Amino acid sequence: MHLPGFVDLQVNGHLGCDFSSPSMSAEQLRAVCDKLLAAGTAAFLPTMITAPMTVYERNLPILAKAIDSKLFRGRLLGIHLEGPFLTPKPGPIGAHRPEHTLAPEVDVLGRLVDLAGGFVRMLTLSPELPGAEKLIAWAVGRGICVSCGHTMATADDLARATDAGATAFTHLGNGLGQVVPRHANPIWAALAEDRLAATIITDGHHLPPPVIKSFLRAKGVERTIVISDAAPLAGMAPGRYRALGNEVVLEPDGKLHNPSKNCLVGSSSTMLQCMTHLASLDILSAAELRAVGLDNPLRLLGLSPTDLRPAGSVQYDPASLRFKKSVPARRDNPQSAID
């Protein structure tokens, strides 16, 4: 099975480039996107996590210019804002900085959308926050896919959010406290809400295999989407770093975590690695793997594979249960800048 690559709805950075850092440059962004798009990712959403408004004011226009360039058209599909409308409670906030979270307000999101040149395609928020439903409806009315996440939402919270237009749940099973109520918790609520697709991180660290299998059985392949949630340290050597406002450790096995918070800080994997891990579990057929890694994320954004301009392709080997790059990356104009 040959594919144009995978579509990743959540990439926070790569090889030291942090899309939420006040030091990100257009040149650094272009170089990192080239490398990531050559690594089996046909297209992705560069993702900004909760940040000070000054960082949004600086970085969103840089991301927008790249998305609108000839070089990355059909490859960078828009911007994913994971925050700032998240609950500041410990546990659900994860690696995000609670002091930078904001209450859901249309004026604030409107400002962010304007800074992004209208290229915001996905928004993750905590649906239990006052004002969330109004914000969801406003965002959906402007073509933004709204996903619930970093939350301790109840089933009623999720029902109200989906009534308002939310269509997804961000990295199900992660972005919540280490200890949650046995039954009244957002995992069960999200699994039971048939109107919500679930994104899951299959890097081998965020979710154990029995959990992945259970999620797939409950949501169905048609409502499951694999993401990498790649952190800026993805592709880096093991060691201690500072990333996304956290003091983190990248272990030799790829686990990326903040020991003081006892939480993961995104993943160190690409979509190719996440899909290979999922394939190795031998849960899904080749067609189902294609659905969760390519077709479903595109459909959530209202797109199809014909909307992509991939840099290469990947091939699935059922004998080894692995994906591998089958065509080297190609740039239409190696000398072109982001124009």
Decide: 50 and 129 in contact? Cβ < 8 Å. Answer: no
Cis peptide before 90 (omega within 30 of 0): no
Are 96 and 49 spatial neighbours (Cβ–Cβ below 8 Å)?
Answer: yes
Q: Distance between CA 73 and CA 39 in Å, rounded?
A: 18
Q: Amino acid identity of 244?
A: L
| Options 114, 229, 282, 317, the catalytic residue | 229
Q: DSSP labels for 286-312?
A: HHHHHIIIIIHHHHHTT--GGG---S-
Residue 163 annotated in active site? no
Q: In whole angstroms, what is the distance from residue 41 CA to residue 294 CA?
A: 10
Handedness of CA 291, 297, 303, 306 (dihedral sign): negative
The answer to whether the beta carbons of residues 77 and 68 sit under 8 Å apart is no
Enumerate the β-bridge partners of residue 18: 13
Active-site residue set? 229
